[in-house]
Amino acid sequence: MKNIAILTGATGGLGNAFVRELLKENVDKIWSLGRNQAKLDALVDTYGEKIVPIKCDLTNETELKTVLSLLAENKPNVRFLINNAGLAKMEKITRFSDEEIAKTIEINCKVPALLCQYVIPYMDRGAMILNISSASSFQPNPYISLYSATKVFLRSYSRSMNYELKEKGITCTAVCPGWVDTEMLKPRQNGKKVKFIGMVSPERVVKQALKDAKKGKDMSVCSLFVKYEHLCSKIYPQKWIMRVWGKSVEKYVKE
């Protein structure tokens, strides 16, 4: 039986960093999910035959179910499930289309929950689930309201899954980075250069996430700055933090 890792959003910034770290782990294959075939091919070219590219739009129910079929066909021993794919947009909530709202909730909440459901039967003691939430889950964040709310779901779900799965010896960690230097962040918004305070590299987030997952932690926070943000969210009224955040980003969104 093959030891594998399953990674969504493998073609993105954090995804690439996860691939590099997973190659150092005891896994025979890394099932790497993404929508972009050229980027998936590039992963294989760069990292070799351990990468199994799986082209899959996770918001397409039929394509998502291919993961279920592949599991039934190959009966692997899944050591890592990393729910990393995600969608984000900094914008006033009134400017979102119905489709954008539905897809963001689907990819950030429904898909990770379904994949956990599909994959847990193929996991044994010592297996790890890492769900990529965000520091924006610490309190409501105006102008990334939808994103922030979806990440609250993922953090809460992951932490209670970690509790429930203890008897099976499986861990589940909500990874909560602040700004990470990937293509998800738009350098300019509303004609202004965006300041990403406390931004860190994807490598730093991923190394800390795997370290924390191995310790069985239900949350991973990788920098002092984000630890400070987490502490503030516990001791100051959320209305104050929302106001500070809202004032600092409102210039980046259109009227």
Ligand X SMILES: NC(=O)c1ccc[n+]([C@@H]2O[C@H](COP(=O)([O-])OP(=O)(O)OC[C@H]3O[C@@H](n4cnc5c(N)ncnc54)[C@H](OP(=O)(O)O)[C@@H]3O)[C@@H](O)[C@H]2O)c1
Cβ distance to ligand X smaller for residue 93 or 197: 197
Site for ligand X in 80-99 (CB under 6 A): 84-88
Pairwise CA distance, residues 234 & 139, whole Å: 9
Stretch that binds ligand X, among 120-128, 161-169, 178-186, 215-223 (CB under 6 A): 178-186
| In the complex, minimum distance from the CB of residue 169 to ligand X, in angstroms, rounded to a whole number | 26
Instruction: Give the type of residue at 179.
Output: W
Cβ distance to ligand X smaller for residue 125 or 192: 192
Stretch that binds ligand X, among 68-76, 94-102, 183-191, 224-232 (CB under 6 A): 183-191
Instruction: Show the site string, 26-65: x = touches ligand X by CB under 6 A, - = not.
Output: --------xxx--x-----------------xxx------
Site for ligand X in 209-228 (CB under 6 A): none
Among 4, 6, 15, 153, binds ligand X (CB under 6 A): 15
Selection from 193, 81, 88, 167 nearest residue 129 by Cα: 81
